[in-house]
Amino acid sequence: MNLIIDVGNTRVKAAVFEKDSLIELFVFEKSKIVSEIKKIISNHKISSAIISSVAKLSDFKLQKLHQILDLVELSHQTKVPFKNKYATPKTLGVDRIALASAGVRKYPNKNILIIDAGTCVTFDFVNKKGEYLGGAISPGIKMRYNALHNYTAKLPLLEASTPESYIGNNTNNSIHSGVVNGICNEIDGVINQYKEEFGDLTVVLTGGDTNFLAKQLKNGIFANPNFVLEGLHTILIYNRAND
């Protein structure tokens, strides 16, 4: 079994994979990472692990994890199953590296656009030659609601909700229409741009807002909330095979 550790700003996702199947998923606070990982490995026969962190994890905690795990730390220097043609590879986020890896593993020899709808919305494109070309970064749903509230005097802070109509008939409905219809039209528009240039295109939607957005998009997509975890598992297997 392999252990995949995805460290966010406040929470950690840890997934146990057996062969290519995710068999158990754990979510816990970042401050508890060492104790929680110890619990996981006490209940599963973990042979190898990988850790990806978009937020800084202390050297002390990393050292503790290395003591209890055969651990790969994902960075821009880690071997990956695609050709990275990003102009500044050192600045490419580890989450985007994982997504590209999942794309080439699951959809080989295809043009793939991966959309990660979380705190930010990221677009990552890998062509049919297995070359990562880049993409885009845009504000996510919650960030858009927060911005409307924080940068105006009177607009309320709302939770995401599917608008009843694209014509908002009061302030709250207008905000929902602006945020939700706006982000959906943005995503559909970006997909159409890629389709115009690259023709046959496979589109994957992932991230925390996957389920909320998937049913509202006009373009056909594959929805997979665990695509980052699958990508990290792909990188781990690739590195162990090429050690």
- Measured between alpha carbons, how far is 212 from 238 in angstroms, rounded to an integer? 33
Q: How confident is the model over 96-142, as pLDDT tens digits?
A: 999 999 999 999 999 999 999 988 999 999 999 999 999 999 999 99
238 in a domain, yes or no? no
Which of 50, 73, 96 finishes a domain? 73
Q: What is the CATH number of the domain that holds 125?
A: 3.30.420.40
Read off φ and ψ for residue 173, nearest 5 degrees.
Answer: -65, -35
**95 belongs to the catalytic site:** yes
Mode of pairing for the β-strands spanning 120-126 and 131-139: antiparallel
Mean pLDDT of the chain: 93
Q: Are residues 157 and 193 in the same domain?
A: yes
Q: Are residues 208 and 132 in the same domain?
A: yes
Annotated binding site for ATP: 6-13, 119
160 in a domain, yes or no? yes
Q: How many domains does the chain have?
A: 2
Query: Quick one: what percent of the chain has pLDDT higher than 70?
Result: 100
Annotated binding site: 6-13, 86, 93-96, 116, 119, 171
Q: How far is the CA of 129 from the CAs of 104, 107, 213, in angstroms?
A: 9, 11, 29
Q: Are residues 157 and 119 in the same domain?
A: yes
Q: Are residues 135 and 216 in the same domain?
A: yes
Out of 95, 124, 188, 243, pick the active-site residue.
95
The pLDDT value recorded for residue 115 is 97
Q: Residue 11: which domain range?
A: 2-73
95 in a domain, yes or no? yes
Read off φ and ψ for residue 79, nearest 5 degrees.
Answer: -65, 135
